[in-house]
Structure 1
Amino acid sequence: MAPQKIALLTDSCADLSPHLAAEHHIYIVPLRILCADGEYSDGVDIHSADIYRRLKCGELPQTSLPSAESAGAVLEEIRDAGYDGVIAVMLSSGLSGTYNLLRLIAEESGDAFPIRVFDSVSGSLGQGLTVLQLAEDIRGGMDWETLVERRAPQLIANTFPFFSVDTLEYLMKGGRIGKVTATAGTLLQIKPIITFAPDGQLQSIAKVRGRNQVIDKLVAMTADRCAGHKKYNLAVANGGASAEMEVLRQKLTAALPDYSHLWDGEIDGTLSVYIGDGVLGAAVQVLG
């Protein structure tokens, strides 16, 4: 029998604030961050500001997928809350083993407690957009079959995030450079715009000169992806650049005023290890 009361699960890289997660009844499994002075849980006892401080002091933390115990504990909490099925949308498998961990746990649980796990092929606001829209769909009465067979895959395929990073130094040091082209752009103030490749790794998609052009380029690329669609969600995110995110929000909503929802987020500690601060992000999710 298909689950009637459906829970949503994601990880700390979806960049949902505690308020947003609580409002939409979304459960979160934290990734682990290994620092010089011990192990922390992303979004629980370590946040992006802590990571920026450590990076500036020359420390390079390492990241790790959630423990099977912590994932199991969250699923137990969901069961205890009276849910009878879970839809999980996890950080891109091109960046992390988190999706595979949850998939294995789901296989072990069998049909007794259905868990459908999806690779977001994304992270941050792209991942968060998918979970938040699924929360809207569940609230609107969409059934399990439709959600897992059609809606979730459709949302993942039609969610397009773009990020500007201030430096590629940490992506290179952390071994997550993927398909991102390292540019010797420090002196010229060249800022790369990155997105997720079809295999879920990061890839360069554009280069601009200077911070002002970054915002305009993010807006232009997001609007281009929307390309005349009438129904869409928007999201903006930042890592240590909250004032600039407000400018980005204003310009994005001026360019795409007919959005169904506009959500914002702050880049999590895990992704901050690889991209540093001064990060801006914009995303569109095409609904129809």
Structure 2
Amino acid sequence: MNKAKIAWITDTTASLSKEFIEQHHIHVIPLHVVINDEFYKETVEITEEEFYERMKNEEGKFQSSQPSISDFVGLYNQLKGEYDFGVAIHASSLLTGTYQSSVMAAEMEDFKLYALDSQTGSYPLSFLIKRGIELAEQGLEISEIISQLNGLLDQTRLYLVPSNLDQLHKSGRVSGSQKILASLFNIKPILSIEEGAAKIKDKVRTEKKVFAWLVNKLKEDLETKSVKKVAIVHANDIKKATELEKVIKETLPGIETEILMLITVAGVHTGVGTIGMSWVCE
């Protein structure tokens, strides 16, 4: 029996390297960032560094926008002649309509698609794609691959800590009075992406306490689960990311770490200087 030819599809909220994308022929549909009503394809027409530099130095509106359904229609029209079916893993459907557009376009084009709502983004989304490809290379049936990936959805962790509440205030996530109080008392909210949505998990006072909180969350998971790798995500603050990595390595010397730039569609809401930690329990 011939091995099925699988097309792997995702979007730019997955933190995948260009090398990995090219090596595994992954089809990546870009989301858009919108700066003062000008649209840019994320990672294609504007890099994360450029986006955060502009956010830091320019006044105005910074927003995000999902891909158009026609982007997916065009892709699936092309793929149905080349592949047996596709596996699409997208950012949380509660945070963007990308997943819904992908599914709808596949139906319109009569392209057989196994679509997965990752309920997350950034490092955990890239983890799911890599694991899916790994399982396919091991020769597992598609039903088993999807089953195993579904089993990981509630094992993903993504915590983000904005350096201030400016951007959350601009995007309507916090009120003006909350922003002033947070600034006065140096309060840092810790956001968690859970069940597909962003929730405030805690509020702490100093950066040192932020680092301790994040590392403690990881230690809690390590008591009962296996975590092989931890990603430190940052919105153009490599110094802070390196400091957090140092704390992780000192506390948990056996764990592998990776520093990643925070995806811009998340940075639109959390702002420049955001720091975070992410891992997947196995």
TM-score, normalised with respect to structure 2: 0.86
Residue of structure 2 aligned with 1:249, choices 234, 245, 252 = 245
- The one-letter code of the counterpart of 1:249 is E
Q: Structure 1 vs Structure 2: percent identity of aligned residues?
A: 25
8 A Cα contact 1:163 1:281, kept in partner: yes
Residue of structure 2 aligned with 1:143, choices 136, 141, 146 = 141
- Against the structure 1 CA distance between its residues 285 and 63, is the aligned structure 2 distance closer, same or farther, given a 3 Å change threshold? same
Unmatched tracts of structure 1, length 5 or more: none
Residue of structure 2 aligned with 1:154, choices 125, 135, 151 = 151
Q: Cα deviation per residue 1:207-229 (whole Å; 9 max; x = unaligned)?
A: 22222332222121122233332
Residue of structure 2 aligned with 1:130, choices 128, 131, 145 = 128
Once the two structures are TM-superposed, the CA of residue 231 in structure 1 deviates from its matched residue by 5.5
Unmatched tracts of structure 2, length 5 or more: none
8 A Cα contact 2:77 2:109, kept in partner: no
| Alignment partner of 1:33 is 2:51 | no
Q: Cα deviation per residue 1:210-265 (whole Å; 9 max; x = unaligned)?
A: 22332222121122233332354432222112233233334335545565x75542
Look up the match of 1:282: 277
Look up the match of 1:196: 193
- The one-letter code of the counterpart of 1:251 is V
**In structure 2, distance between residues paired with 1:246 and 1:66:** 33
Q: How does 1:226-245 map to 2 (within 5 A)?
A: 226-230=222-226, 232-245=228-241
Residue of structure 2 aligned with 1:120, choices 107, 114, 118 = 118
**In structure 2, distance between residues paired with 1:18 and 1:124:** 15
Once the two structures are TM-superposed, the CA of residue 153 in structure 1 deviates from its matched residue by 0.8
8 A Cα contact 2:70 2:105, kept in partner: no
- The one-letter code of the counterpart of 1:283 is S
**In structure 1, distance between residues paired with 2:115 and 2:217:** 29
**In structure 1, distance between residues paired with 2:25 and 2:248:** 28
RMSD of aligned alpha carbons? 2.8
Q: Which has the higher contact order (CA 8 A, sep 6+)?
A: 1
- Against the structure 1 CA distance between its residues 182 and 133, is the aligned structure 2 distance closer, same or farther, given a 3 Å change threshold? farther
Q: Cα deviation per residue 1:6-43 (whole Å; 9 max; x = unaligned)?
A: 23221111222323333444321101122236321011
* Secondary structure in 1 matching 2:96: coil
Q: Cα deviation per residue 1:107-161 (whole Å; 9 max; x = unaligned)?
A: 3344xx321111111122222222222232223333211112x112112121111
Look up the match of 2:12: 12
* Secondary structure in 2 matching 1:102: helix
**In structure 1, distance between residues paired with 2:252 and 2:132:** 22
- The one-letter code of the counterpart of 2:123 is L
Look up the match of 2:72: 71
Look up the match of 1:218: 214
**In structure 2, distance between residues paired with 1:140 and 1:216:** 39
- The one-letter code of the counterpart of 2:270 is I
Aligned length: 279
- Against the structure 1 CA distance between its residues 109 and 130, is the aligned structure 2 distance closer, same or farther, given a 3 Å change threshold? same
8 A Cα contact 2:37 2:61, kept in partner: no
- Against the structure 1 CA distance between its residues 263 and 2, is the aligned structure 2 distance closer, same or farther, given a 3 Å change threshold? farther
Q: How does 1:43-58 map to 2 (within 5 A)?
A: 43-56=43-56, 57-58=58-59
Compare CA radii of gyration and give the structure with the larger one: 2
- The one-letter code of the counterpart of 1:276 is G
8 A Cα contact 1:6 1:84, kept in partner: yes
**In structure 2, distance between residues paired with 1:122 and 1:9:** 16
**In structure 2, distance between residues paired with 1:12 and 1:49:** 15
8 A Cα contact 1:233 1:286, kept in partner: no
Once the two structures are TM-superposed, the CA of residue 49 in structure 1 deviates from its matched residue by 2.8
Look up the match of 1:170: 167
Look up the match of 2:102: 102
Once the two structures are TM-superposed, the CA of residue 94 in structure 1 deviates from its matched residue by 1.5
- The one-letter code of the counterpart of 1:60 is K
- The one-letter code of the counterpart of 2:73 is G
